[in-house]
Amino acid sequence: MHMTVFGAGYSGKAIADLYRQAGHAVSGTTRSVEKFGSLQALGIEPLQFDGTALSPELKQALAKTTHLLQSIAPGRDGDALLRLAGHDLRSLMPQLQWIGYLSTVGVYGDHQGGWVTEETPCKPVSARSLERVEAETNWLAAGKQIGVPVAVLRLSGIYGPGRNAFANLANGTARRLVKPDQVFNRIRVEDIAGATVFLADRLLGGIYNITDNEPCAPQDVVVEAARLMGVEPPPEQPFETAELSSMARSFYGENKRVSNALLKQLGFAFRYPDYRLSLQQLWASDTWRKEAADPA
């Protein structure tokens, strides 16, 4: 088996590393050759991809690819990989058995704190979520056209080693914003990797929410991390008067509870099903400073 990961960043690299640990060959793309070393240190074949062309080296990797993972966000021009290879997927990847597409729970839009499942109709609000819905639809159609299952993984807010409330508290960027009744789900990067490999190994297609068990107010996570660190949490700030980027403010415009019941019904077990257990593990293992899939 050979997996090619388009966009071997935080999540993509964790997925590639876990798949490699299972004894499979893995290639991963990055925009910059300066990042080749970090991929090679994990046993991942590094390839350059900037979204404009498929290099001869990349085509060689695709020719032996059995499992394809697309983790690069689409843009105004759509999904870069589909734009370049959409009508040629089968000839480029004659051994292809499974496609995974990393999306976001942002496609559901705002549900005023209500629960959403994979059956909930999408009503995206932001331009980036609209682009995600289009990319999801196009990948599902492309897979159907060539007879390959496509798994769309809708991810909640991603955190883990190197990217978490502890790191934010340590570097002074943690904020305790309070918006009444606002909740978010989140997901540990290791569980993203585990869920992806679970679906890839079983050649399962369809739409799946990759999210924890416990949607909660975002300030609760900061308070718990501060408690474990033995420091005072930052003061509460009303959301309405906080200075935020337009992107950060848009996240608070969507309020929903995301269900992971479907994935659990299939037999997947989350290693970090809630933020309390997850933060405790990060603190006790002293891995909160270290980025996921970091060989150092």
Q: How confident is the model at residue 8 (pLDDT cuts 50, 70, 90)?
A: very high
What's the pLDDT at 296?
37
How far is residue 269 from each of residues 90, 104, 149, 273, measured CA to CA in Å?
33, 20, 22, 8
What's the pLDDT at 228?
98
- The DSSP annotation for 217-280 comes to -HHHHHHHHHHHHTSPPPPEEEGGGS---HHHHHHTT---EE--HHHHHTT---S--SHHHHHH
Q: How confident is the model at residue 136 (pLDDT cuts 50, 70, 90)?
A: very high
Q: Is residue 294's pLDDT more than 80?
A: no
Q: Is residue 125's pLDDT more than 90?
A: no
Using alpha carbons, select from 41, 14, 13 the residue that is nearest to residue 29: 13
